[in-house]
Chain A
Amino acid sequence: MIPAKININFIQITTDFSGIITSVDAGEFAKKEFFVTTTIFDTCPFLEGTLEGLIIAESVLLEGMVIVSDNVEYNVDIELLKNENSVEVLILNRTNVYKIVDQLNQNRNDLFFVKREIAEKNKELDRLRKIADKANEEKSRFLAMMSHEIRNPLNAILGYAEMIAAETLNKNVEKYIKHLSYSGKNLKVIVDDILDLSRIEAGKLVLVNEEMSIENIYQNCEDTYKNQQKNTDVKLVFSVDKEIPKTILGDSVRLHQILSNLIGNAIKFTQQGSVTISATPVLTSNKEYVNILFTVTDTGRGMSKEQAVKIFEEYQQNKISDNRVHGGAGLGLAIVNRLVTAMNGKINLESELNKGTSFFIEIPFKKIEDKKLKNIAVSKTECSIKNKRILVADDDLLNQTIVAHYLKKQQANSTIVSDGLEALEKIESEVFDVILLDINMPNMTGEELVTKNKSFLKFNSTTPILALTANATKEDIKRYKKAGFLDVISKPFTSKKFVEKICSVLFS
C-alpha cells in the first residue's frame, strides 16, 4: 500500500517504442492526461525523439522537464527504462523543489547581469576620469606656462616702477607710479596663485617639515600688514597664545601664505572696526602633536550662507565688482583650503551679512623635543654688496637695465653681458664675487654654461653662481641646483629680495 501523499506525486506508465501508452501501472499524479492507447507525447512532448535514443536495460533520468495538466505547469523528473518490447516511464512531481531552484537560478542570473552592468559603468567612469584628468593636466600645464611667460615682462614692469618711484617726481607722476606698482603687485599675486593652484592640482605641491616659530610668522604678518594698512578706521590686532610651543615642525612659507590670504581678504572687505588674528593651542593636542587654532576675525561686510558655501571654490568672488575693486582672481581661498587640507588641517567659517566673518583653521604640527631645539633667528642682519664684483648675463635688455640699476644703487661693480658665450669669456678672464645667469639665453643657456667646470677653474672656482629666472617651480629649482647653481633668484623680484639673495650666498 503506497501512502496517499506519495501516490499523488508520481505516476508510472508503460508505453511501446512509438510512445503509445499500454498501461498505467501506479500513482495518481496527472492521471487525467494518461490513457491507454493514447500517445504519451501529447503530455510529454520531450519524449518524442528521446525514446528512439534509449538503450535496452539502461535507465535514463531526465531532470527538470515541464508538463501541463489541467492548465497547470509542473516540473517533473522522469526515469525511463527500455525493455525488449516496452518502455517504463516513471514521472515524479518535483514542482516544489524546482520552484526554489528556479528562484535561485533567476537571482543568480540577475545578480550576474547587475554585476556586469556595474563593471561596464565603472569602465566608462574610469575612461571619463582619465579624459578629465588629462584635460586637467593640460590646463595646469598651460597655466604654468602662461604664468611663466607673464613673469618676465612683469619683472620689467615692477622693476621700472620701483626705479621710477625712487626718482624725484611731481605729485601726479608719484600717484600714477603708485597705481602702477599696486596693479603690478596684484598681477604678481594672481600669477603666483595660478601657479600654486596648478601645482596643487597636479599633485606637485610638496610641503616641507622644518623648524618654525608661529610667533615669528605672526610678527612678520603684523609688520607687513601694519605697514600696508592705511585705513585708520580698521584696527589690526595680532595675538599668539603663550602656551603655543616656541618652535614646531611645519611649512612656514605655506602657513604664512594661508594667513596672508585670510588677513589680506579681511582687510580688503573691512571698512571700519577691526581685524583680529590669533593663534591658540587646541585641547586635542597630544605628546607628539600640537593642534593650533588660527582665527582671523573681521568686522567687515560678511556674507550670506549661500555665499559662504561657495567661498572655497575657484574663481569665486561674492560680488561681480570685487575683481575690479579689490583685484585678484578669486583663487586665494581655494588655495588656502587646499593647503590646509594638505597639512591635515580643517578650515571653517562663520559669517553674518554686514557684521563680519571669522575663519577658523586648525592644523596639527609635530612638536620638537627640547634638546633638539635650535634658535630661530628673528631678525635679519643688514648686508652690503658694495664694491663686490658681480657678473650678470641676461639677454633681456629691460631686465639688464633693472639689475644694473639695483647693483649701481648698492655701489657694486657690475659687469653686464647679453648671452652665455659672452659670460663664458668673462668667467675665463676675470675674478668675480658672484655670477648671476639668466637661464634662457641665446648661443649658450645658463644651464649649459654652469656645467663648463674647466672654464671656472682659473678665476672663479669658488664663485657662487645664481640663476636669474622666471622658471621657479620646485622641480626647476631642484634641477638648477643639481646643475651647479647655488640658488635661484626668481622673477619678478624687488631690489630688496635681489640684494638679500646675493648677500645670502656671499656671506653664508
Chain B
Amino acid sequence: MSAFLYAVALQWRLDIRSKTLLITCYLVPLLFFAIMGGIFTAITPETKDSLIASMTVMGISMGAMIGLPPSLAELYGSDIKKAYQANGIPIGLGITAIFLSAWIHLFLMSVIIYLIAPVAFDALLPVHSLRYFGSLALFLTVSLSVGGVLGLSVKNQAKLTMVSQLVFLPSIMLSGILFPVGLLPDALKFLGKIFPASWGYRLMLGDGSNFLNILPLLVIFFAAGMICVALLRRRKV
C-alpha cells in the first residue's frame, strides 16, 4: 500500500512539474470558465442555473480527454513501460497513478468553479450539493476512463493530439452545455449520447431520471475499463 501511495504522490508531483496537465486541468478550463461564464450569463441570464455544471463538464472533458492521454502515451507508448515491466513493476501501476492524480486535479478544478461561479457570475449552486458532487465524481471517473483508452491506444503523440480533439470536440459540442440538445438534428443527438459529457451534464443538473443517466455512464465506464485492460495486456510479439 505504501508503494502504491508513493506512486500516486509521485505522479501528482510529476504532473505539477510537467505543466501540461496543469494547463489542461486548470489554466484552460478556468480561463474558459472566466470568459464564457461572463458571456453566457450576460446573453442568457437563465444559464446561471446551469453554469456550474456546464463549465465543470467542459473542464473535466478537457482534462480527461486532452490532458490525461499524453501522460499515458508517454508511459505506455515508450520504453518506460519496458523499464518497469522488465524489473517487475506492475504494468497497471502507471495508469492507476496517472488516473488518480488527474482525478484529484480535476476534482479541485471543479471545486474552484463551484466556489467562484456564484460570486463572479451570480450562478446558482446546485440544490443538493452532495448529490451534485457524487454525480461529478462519477462523471469524472467515466471521462478519465475514456481518456485512458485514448492514451493507451494511440502511441504517437501527434496522432494522439488529433484523435483526442476528435473525441473532445463532438463530446462538448453535442453535450448540451453550449446550446440545447433539442436544437440538434436526430443523428447528432444520437451521436452526442455516445459520449459521457451529455449524460454527465444531465446527471449533474438533476435533469431526468438518475438511473437513466447513470446507466449509460456505467456502460461507458465498463466498456472503457475492459478496453484499457486488454490494451495493457497486449504484449510485444
Asked if A pairs with B, the answer is no
